[in-house]
Amino acid sequence: MGGIKEAELPGLGKKYQVELESGESMVVVIYDEGHRELFYFPVHESEPAFSVTLTDQEARQIGSIIGGAFYQPKMLEKLEMAIAELRIEWLKVAPDARIAGKSIGDLHLRKNLGVTVIAILEEDQKGKKKTAAINPGPGFVFAPGQTVVVAGKAGNIEQFQEMATGKGA
């Protein structure tokens, strides 16, 4: 997939342009009033071949269908079975956490607990989350207030949760 471009439409809403692997593109405009417009652009065309207007409810229903809420392709069932034991958790580092002030390498998280730190999130001055590190290396040092995104088996995540928050699952 080529990516998603996002643009503010002052006084109207937001526009998302999705470049498809085939070279085609879709544009979704979400209006402040709640309705959506979808535009389909064939490869190398600057004008849409067609468009559809949806109410908020219709857009949500179609979104849930596309997202797999009603039907899951067989391929995804196999993938789901393969990762059935995988858990991903977002855990906030407590001020008195055992991991605070220690690095990922110092703690040997993969070796000792079988967990992988996927990302670290921090809050800016306005309290909004921002990414501090994606796939941080062994030298990354944990600090109180950070949110750690960690992956592993349920029991291993619970052990890490106790280290990060002082609380069990």
pLDDT digits 0-9 by tens, 28-85: 999 999 999 999 999 999 999 999 999 999 998 898 888 776 665 566 555 555 566 7
Q: How confident is the model at residue 124 (pLDDT cuts 50, 70, 90)?
A: confident
Domains (ranges, CATH) in the chain?
A: 3-66 (no CATH), 81-165 (3.30.70.1450)
Q: What is the average pLDDT value for the chain, to the nearest integer?
A: 87
Question: In this predicted structure, what is the pLDDT of residue 81?
Answer: 56
Q: Which of 57-66, 73-82, 92-101, 109-118 has the lowest mean pLDDT?
A: 73-82
Question: In this predicted structure, what is the pLDDT of residue 99?
Answer: 95
Q: Which whole number is the average pLDDT over 2-23?
A: 91
93/140 Cα distance (integer angstroms): 14
The pTM (predicted TM-score) of the whole model is: 0.50
Question: In this predicted structure, what is the pLDDT of residue 74?
Answer: 61
* CB 112 within 8 Å of CB 76: no
Q: How far is CA 128 from CA 6, 122, 124, 131, 135, in A?
A: 19, 8, 6, 10, 20
Question: In this predicted structure, what is the pLDDT of residue 132?
Answer: 80
Q: How confident is the model at residue 163 (pLDDT cuts 50, 70, 90)?
A: very high
107/101 Cα distance (integer angstroms): 11
Question: In this predicted structure, what is the pLDDT of residue 130?
Answer: 74
Question: In this predicted structure, what is the pLDDT of residue 77?
Answer: 58
Q: How confident is the model at residue 18 (pLDDT cuts 50, 70, 90)?
A: very high
Question: In this predicted structure, what is the pLDDT of residue 95?
Answer: 93
HSE of 46 in the Cβ direction (CA atoms, 13 Å)?
Answer: 0
Q: Which whole number is the average pLDDT over 7-36?
A: 94
CB atoms within 10 A of CB 163: 21
pLDDT above 70 coverage of the chain, percent:
86
90/67 Cα distance (integer angstroms): 22
139/149 Cα distance (integer angstroms): 16
